[in-house]
């Protein structure tokens, strides 16, 4: 962002260490194989999440010596003003309200807020939201890219079309195919809800359409005569798109730009967390370490968090057993090493990442016939260690169904950049209090810190200021990011900390946090209550 670039020279290492030391410890603990042994002013992270730019094996961050130290002059000091902070936080926010009919909102979804805050340059996260026009329901998703943004970008443009097509009845698929064949206008499938920065790749649109058309033609040929099952449709859509990403990279394209693009998509990777909401039926399809958390309001007004996804990483013992069971016994100690897939990749499920899916022979053949830019990239030529029985990685999602209840007030979809900084219960409390305007004051806890009476008074003043600060944000996702980045050890937003974190140079920002992408979906409890009554229009 322009305002950040203008402030890069104002950052100094002493301030960064003082304001961000706790955040650095968090990043080292969660994202790196080992904590950095050098001070922040002497190192910087590699720009990719699953390997370094020079091709050496890495986790989602890697350390190397920075040749020029940052300025450490004690006279240099800069703080962003509150308007400047707000400008940065609100640059990518987007809100959508579901239209009313005859003055009434008949949808269980009132609307949603979304936002993104970059740490990588460019940001590797993506987001999407759309209304299904030929079937019922709304689709919302967050995508977390690694080794670049190409794969996440492709998912944000394509995955919802694959899901929508998977849900279409046979007669609609035939109608669409006949329209394409005869050159007539095709029925619109999705109505997109996009921020102006959420762009589409015009150069690849024809390629994407041809692959999608092949998919619906196969669905027509495989006609079972049954209404598509939502869970099955979500799984098929995820797997088919990942297969198409792989096939497009293998086949290549006569257009040099597209040929390079499909290879970039395939050799990078991305996780996906997608929600499909149809009436009171909520399905969450998750591949990777994104997360979906439901905000539930209890009878006493308090908030509780209900997680509707499982992280696919080394913190999930069932996922470790699944990966180990798919390979020979003699690979048991190498398939998951240092809490990473083959010692390299943190998520155990992802789109793209063909380096963990293709045979060594196929990788070499594609690289040898690929463009020079690809061959010059050491990362793409690097073969993971102990690579004997691919594929090691899958894009198949885990799908969880939940029937909405009146007490289910909102859903938070977030990439792991959010969940690394905040506990799910804290996320739900902050969003719940923001949406209702009701702040349940808990006794102030100081977590073992020695606090003077003067400091306690300061904390009470911060609490009072926090209530009024809610009105600074007209977007729930923005409000949540403000807390994720600016919260101090006492759980309140510290403007000085927030200012320093937002003014970090690009080469330092990734050391302290990841890209953060959030979608907050707000539900209509009155409509949900009507759906749950006998004869109240339950979903089939």
pLDDT digit string (tens) for the chain, length 540 residues: 433 333 333 333 444 444 444 444 444 333 333 333 333 333 233 334 444 333 333 334 333 323 333 333 333 345 888 999 999 999 999 999 998 775 566 899 999 999 999 999 899 999 999 999 998 899 999 999 999 999 999 999 999 999 999 999 999 999 999 999 999 999 899 999 999 988 888 899 999 999 999 999 999 999 877 778 999 999 999 999 999 999 999 998 888 899 999 999 999 999 999 999 999 999 999 999 999 999 999 999 999 999 999 999 999 999 999 999 999 999 999 999 999 999 999 999 999 999 999 999 999 999 888 777 766 666 667 889 999 999 999 999 999 999 999 999 999 999 999 999 999 999 999 999 999 986 554 554 555 555 676 666 666 666 555 544 544 899 999 999 999 999 988 778 988 999 999 998 888 888 888 999 999 999 999 999 998 877 665 444
64 part of a folded domain: no
Nearest of 90, 220, 239, 142 to residue 517 by alpha carbon: 142
Residue 538 lies in a domain: no
**């190409």: which residue's tokens?**
150
CA dist 479 and 76 (Å) reads 30
pLDDT of residue 524: 94
Say how many C-beta atoms besides its own lie within 10 A of residue 223's C-beta: 11
> Among 103, 204, 111, which Cα is nearest to 411's?
111
Q: What whole-number distance in Å separates Cα of residue 324 and Cα of residue 357?
A: 15
User: Does residue 27 lie in a domain region?
Assistant: no
CATH code for the domain in which residue 351 is found:
3.60.40.10
pLDDT value at residue 152: 97
Say if 486 falls within a structural domain.
yes
Going by DSSP bridges, is the β-strand pair 94-97/63-65 parallel, antiparallel, or unpaired? unpaired
Write down the H helix ranges in 487-533. 495-502, 506-512, 525-532
Length of the chain: 540
Contact present, 241 and 233 (Cβ < 8 Å):
no
Provide the residue range defining the domain that includes 330.
Answer: 82-532
Pair of tokens at residue 104: 């009434």
Q: Which helix (H) or strand (E) holds 466?
A: helix 453-469
DSSP sequence for 6-43:
TTGGG--HHHHHHHHHHHHHHHHHHHSSS--SS-GGGE
Q: Is the peptide bond before 391 cis (omega within 30 degrees of 0)?
A: yes
- Please state, in angstroms and rounded to a whole number, the distance separating the CA atoms of residues 208 and 438: 46
Is 23 within a domain? no
Backbone φ, ψ for residue 291 (5° rounding): -150, 145
Tell me what pLDDT residue 492 has.
Answer: 85
Helix (H/G/I), strand (E/B), else coil: 44: strand
Residue-level pLDDT at 223 = 84
Give the number of domains in the chain.
Answer: 1
């Amino acid at each position: 962002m322009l305002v950040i670039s203008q402030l890069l020279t104002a950052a100094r290492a002493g301030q960064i260490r003082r304001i961000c030391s706790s955040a650095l410890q968090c990043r080292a603990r969660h994202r790196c194989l080992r904590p950095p042994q050098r001070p922040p002013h002497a190192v910087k992270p590699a720009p990719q999440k699953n390997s370094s730019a020079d091709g050496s094996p890495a986790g989602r961050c890697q350390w190397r010596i920075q040749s020029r130290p940052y300025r450490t002059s004690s006279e240099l000091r800069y703080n962003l003003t509150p308007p400047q902070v707000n400008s940065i936080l609100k640059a990518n926010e987007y809100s959508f309200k579901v239209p009313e009919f005859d003055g009434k909102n008949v949808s269980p979804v009132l609307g949603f807020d979304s936002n993104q805050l970059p740490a990588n340059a460019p940001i590797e996260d993506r987001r999407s939201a759309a209304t299904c026009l030929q079937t019922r329901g709304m689709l919302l998703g967050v995508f977390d890219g690694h080794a670049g943004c190409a794969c996440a970008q492709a998912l944000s443009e394509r995955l919802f079309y694959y899901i929508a097509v998977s849900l279409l009845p046979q007669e609609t698929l035939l109608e669409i195919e006949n329209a394409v064949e005869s050159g007539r206008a095709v029925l619109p499938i999705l109505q997109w809800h996009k921020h102006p920065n959420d762009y589409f790749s015009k150069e690849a649109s024809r390629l994407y359409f041809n692959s999608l058309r092949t998919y619906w033609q196969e669905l027509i040929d495989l006609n079972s005569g049954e209404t598509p099952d939502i869970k099955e449709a979500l799984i098929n859509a995820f797997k088919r798109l990942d297969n198409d990403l792989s096939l497009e990279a293998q086949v290549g394209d006569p257009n040099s730009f597209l040929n390079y693009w499909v290879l970039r998509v395939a050799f990078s990777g991305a996780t996906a967390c997608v929600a499909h909401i149809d009436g009171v039926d909520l399905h969450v399809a998750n591949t990777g370490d994104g997360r979906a958390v439901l905000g539930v309001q209890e009878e006493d007004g308090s908030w509780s968090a209900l997680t509707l996804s499982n992280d696919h990483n080394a913190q999930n013992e069932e996922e470790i057993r699944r990966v180990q069971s798919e390979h020979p016994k003699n690979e048991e100690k190498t398939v998951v090493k240092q809490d990473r897939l083959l010692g390299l990749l943190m998520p155990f499920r992802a789109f793209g990442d063909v380096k963990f899916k293709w045979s060594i022979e196929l990788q070499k053949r594609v690289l040898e016939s690929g463009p020079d830019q690809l061959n010059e990239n050491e990362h793409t030529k690097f073969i993971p260690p102990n690579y004997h029985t691919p594929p090691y990685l899958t894009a198949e999602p885990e799908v969880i169904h939940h029937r909405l209840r009146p007490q289910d007030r909102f859903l938070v979809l977030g990439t792991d950049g959010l969940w690394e900084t905040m506990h799910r219960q804290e996320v739900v409390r902050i969003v719940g209090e923001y949406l209702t305007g009701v702040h349940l004051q808990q006794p102030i806890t100081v977590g073992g810190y020695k606090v003077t009476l003067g400091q306690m008074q300061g904390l009470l003043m911060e609490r009072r200021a926090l209530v009024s600060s809610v009105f600074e944000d007209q977007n729930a996702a923005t409000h949540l990011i403000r807390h994720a980045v600016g919260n101090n050890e006492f759980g309140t937003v510290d403007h000085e900390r927030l200012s320093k974190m937002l003014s970090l140079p690009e080469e330092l920002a990734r050391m302290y946090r990841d890209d953060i992408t959030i979608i907050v979906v707000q539900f209509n409890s009155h409509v949900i209550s009507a759906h749950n009554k006998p004869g109240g229009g339950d979903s089939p």
